[in-house]
Chain A
Amino acid sequence: VSSAEDGRLVRRCLGGDAEAIRQLVVRFQAEVFGLCVRILGHRHDAEDVTQEVFLRVFRSLAGWDPARPLRPWVMGIAVNRCRTWLARRSNRLELVDYLQDSVAGPPDDDSAELLREIQVALAGLRVEYRTVFAMFHEQGQPYEEIALALKRPVGTIKTWLHRARLEILDRLRARGMVGEGFDNPRPAGPYPA
């Protein structure tokens, strides 16, 4: 979606066009909700926060700079609302919700266990690391957009993501989720044999 289309959509929303409001919600709700689930670790909380995020988005829409992309602006509001929510509540995670959403297709061998380990590792990360990891690996957002959303330099975002990966890899390694054949490396995807 081009920034010109974003601008037109926003102008319609500001004019009180209900259909435009619905379009904007539909366009961003999956990403906002997904990020809220990853940051908060709780679906019900994520639903509440997602609604708060969009209320805040539409209240602040007149202040959006059309020269900037819309998605990082929306995601930045989502991250801020999640941080506020986390500060208010006790840190509780419900992994079952996460796993029900996360397993795609029939689980083979230890896929469920692998996903659980990844989830636990994610939940143990700092909020910033968790946020950056979810935005990059789950939502496919580039470094530049994440930097815009979090209002941090690209270098900081890279550093956070690298540390997040290393912490997750350390946990997987400590839990024995290291794959097979590292003593006898074999070609596997892009990794060296």
Chain B
Amino acid sequence: MKKEGPPSDCRAYQERLQQQLDGQPVGWPAALVEHLRDCPACAALQGAARRLTAGLQKLTPPTPPPDLAGQITARVLADDRSQKTAGRIQRLRWAVAALVAAAVLLALGLRFRATPTTPPAPEVPDLAAAATPRPLRDSMEEARTAVAALTNRTADAAVGETAFLLPPVPEPMLPESAAESLEPSLRPFREAGAEVSSGLEPVTDSARRALQLFLRDQPSEEGAKPPASKLN
């Protein structure tokens, strides 16, 4: 007895067996039936296939627990609700974020629009230098000079402004009699000059008073002497 048939016959048998297990109609040629009689391996495979077929017919699919469908349905519905809630929350977060961003942008826009063009910073006096103590005599002299210069400048300006109102008058070429007849005409010019002087008086008086007040408040150069009322 042969231990194994030709490999081609074994392969041919296995192909037929697979088709048989697939459920296809298979014809068994006499040569293959003869091969099964002579090949123990294929004969054993044939016997195992027969048992497998019988076992598969007895095999029933596992049945799910009776309440599994209900559990799954409840879980699916709960999951659907949570998914929708999560979606709503997510959309709400996006909406809030968009609103906040829009509000910030709006506030920034309004602020930029409302802010005027920054004027140049005024010159800040050098306080440190001003705080430096200076000799009193220098300060007094400087104050006097400043007040005098201010007075002169104000007077010159006033005179200058009024001078151009006076037309240039040539030297009188008229005879004495004519000059005397013209005297009334020159009087308004004299009066105008007097008025300009009287107009400048408040300025000069104010400057004078300011200087006097300033000098009165300054301590004596010889040292601090207590007032006479305190000595008594």
* B54 beta carbon closer than 8 Å to chain A: yes
What's the Cα separation between A124 and B26 when bound, in Å?
29
Chain B positions 206 through 227: 1 when the CB is less than 8 Å from some CB of chain A, otherwise 0: 0000000000000000000000
Residues of A in contact with B, size category: 35 or more
Q: List residues of chain B with CB within 8 A of the CB of A29.
A: 64, 68-69, 72
Asked if A22 is at the interface of the complex by the 8 Å CB criterion, the answer is yes
**Which one of B13-21, B147-155, B166-174 is at the A interface?**
B13-21
| Whole-angstrom CA separation of A179 from B43 in the bound complex | 10
In the complex, A96 has a CB within 8 A of chain B: no
CB of A129 closer than 8 Å to a CB of B: no
Assess A115 versus B58: contact at CB under 8 Å? Given A58-B79, A182-B47, A185-B36.
Answer: yes
| CB pair B69 A137 closer than 8 Å | no
Residue picked from A50, A103, A169, A185, most chain B C-beta under 10 Å = A169
Which of A4-12, A30-38, A78-86, A147-155 forms contacts with chain B? A30-38
Q: Is B52's CB under 8 angstroms from A168's CB? A: yes
Residue contact A101 to B62, C-beta cutoff 8 Å: yes
CB of A55 within 8 A of CB of B76, answer yes
With A25-B72, A30-B61, A183-B43 as given contacts, are A114 and B51 in contact (CB-CB < 8 Å)? yes
Contacts of B65-102 to chain A: CB distance below 8 A: 65, 68-73, 75-77, 79-80, 83
State which size class the interface on B falls in.
35 or more
* B32 partner residues in chain A, CB cutoff 8 A: 192
- Residue contact B79 to A59, C-beta cutoff 8 Å: yes
**What residues on B are CB-neighbors of A50 within 8 Å?**
64, 68, 72
Query: B residues within 8 A CB of A38?
Result: 62
With beta carbons under 8 angstroms apart, the residue of B37, B51, B68 that contacts A177 is B51
Decide yes or no whether A46 CB sits under 8 A from chain B: yes
B200 adjacent to chain A (CB < 8 Å):
no
**B77 in complex: contacting residue of A18, A33, A118, CB < 8 Å:** A18
Determine the chain B residues whose CB is within 8 A of the CB of A177 once the complex forms: 48, 51
**Docked-complex contact A182 and B46, CB < 8 angstroms:** yes
Contacts of B65 in A (CB 8 A): 47
Contact for B75 among A51, A105, A118, CB less than 8 A: A51
A156 at the interface (CB under 8 A from B): no
Q: A179 vs B36: C-alpha distance in the bound complex, in angstroms?
A: 14
Q: How far is the CA of A193 from the CA of B30 in the complex (A)?
A: 11
- The answer on a CB contact under 8 Å between A169 and B48 is yes
Cβ contact within 8 Å between B83 and A191: no
Contact flag A169-B62 (CB < 8 Å), given A118-B55, A178-B51, A185-B37: no
Report B's interface with A, CB cutoff 8 A: 14, 18, 20-21, 26, 28, 32-33, 36-37, 43-56, 58-65, 68-73, 75-77, 79-80, 83
Question: Nearest 9 A-B pairs (CB), nearest first?
Answer: A178-B47, A179-B47, A192-B28, A182-B43, A33-B64, A101-B62, A37-B62, A34-B61, A172-B48
